[in-house]
Amino acid sequence: MFRLALRDALEKFDGLERFLSAKWALPYFCKWRTILENGHCAFNQMATAEAWARGWTLTREKAHPVNQTYGYKIDLGAPDHLERHVVSNFDTQALRELSISLTVPGTWLKVCASPEVVAPFLADIWTVQPPEYLMAAELRKHAIIARDDYQLSIHTNSAVTDAELRTNQGQLAARGRVAQSNGFAIFDQIVTEPAHQRKGLGRIVMGALSNVSIASESTIGVLVATEDGRALYKAIGWTIVSPVTAAVIG
């Protein structure tokens, strides 16, 4: 009796959620979603970019991002990577002014827009890098299938978890890390060594990190992928939220 009543209540709530989404197209039905005109959901670019910026500083052990009108500034301190400006709120005039105001070599831009849109508004001192993609996914539990030829290890330190796959001889084959931040899991440095590619090792690493994230009560995964990485992530259910243009003062 109790189970039937609970099921009916959940079904009514689910129906109400769909009705509200379609009826009024609420701009933020929840933090990480935007309701489209057709009533369907899409990942919200601003919230996803914010999560990525905050999580990326955790995985790289850098200072927290500082809010700006255009997005976020991240101080890095390395000569070839002095600071990073994440432009999540794309505006052509604001981008033009920002690109002119920044002049120090080693300064980077990450703009949530495609290169053909961004490039015309950058000053001449900027060099545009290969395209990248801001991606997101609803996290799901993965069954990790053990392999006789590789050993999986997982280590967590505070909000950051590392996963490694090594051969039985100890050679590193694949690795990755993830940071937990306000219900988001930010994946970073997912790498499979060339000699071990096309064996599904990247999927194992992603699955292991996803399971850790779910256990930490994160529900949404976020990352920035290269052109090559985009295919892997799309194949395992990730969605492109926005193209990303990287540029540097060299």
CB 174 within 8 A of CB 164: yes
How much is the pLDDT for 232?
Answer: 85
Give me Rg for the CA atoms of the chain.
20
Q: Residue 44: is its pLDDT beyond 50? A: yes
User: Measured at the alpha carbon of residue 10, what is the angle toward residues 7 and 12, in degrees to the nearest 5?
Assistant: 110
How much is the pLDDT for 41?
Answer: 61
For 171-209, b/e burial (b = at least 16 CB within 10 A) is eebbbbbbbbbeebbbbbebebeeebeebebbbbbbbbb
* Residues paired with residue 177 on neighbouring β-strands, in sequence order: 162, 188
Go through the chain and tell me how many residues it has. Answer: 250
For 74-131, what is each residue's pLDDT tens digit?
Answer: 999 998 999 999 999 999 999 999 999 999 999 999 999 999 999 999 999 999 999 9
Record the tokens describing residue 157, joined without a space.
């330190």
How much is the pLDDT for 42?
Answer: 79
| Per-residue pLDDT band at 230 (split at 50, 70, 90) | very high
Record the tokens describing residue 213, joined without a space.
């994230």
| Per-residue pLDDT band at 161 (split at 50, 70, 90) | very high
Q: Residue 149: is its pLDDT beyond 90? A: yes
High-pLDDT (> 70) share of the chain, %:
84
For 24-38, what is each residue's pLDDT tens digit?
Answer: 333 333 445 554 444
Query: How deeply is 56 buried, as exposed, middle or buried, from its count of CB atoms within 10 A (0-12, 13-18, 19+)?
Result: buried
For 183-217, what is each residue's pLDDT tens digit?
Answer: 999 999 999 999 999 999 999 999 999 999 999 99
How much is the pLDDT for 21?
Answer: 35
How much is the pLDDT for 145?
Answer: 85
Quote the pTM value: 0.84
- Nearest residue to 213 via CA among 112, 140, 135, 152: 140
Cα 177 → chain centroid? 12
- The structural domains of the chain, ordered by start, are 2-42 (no CATH), 44-250 (3.40.630.30)
* Higher pLDDT pick, 13 / 248: 248
How much is the pLDDT for 81?
Answer: 94
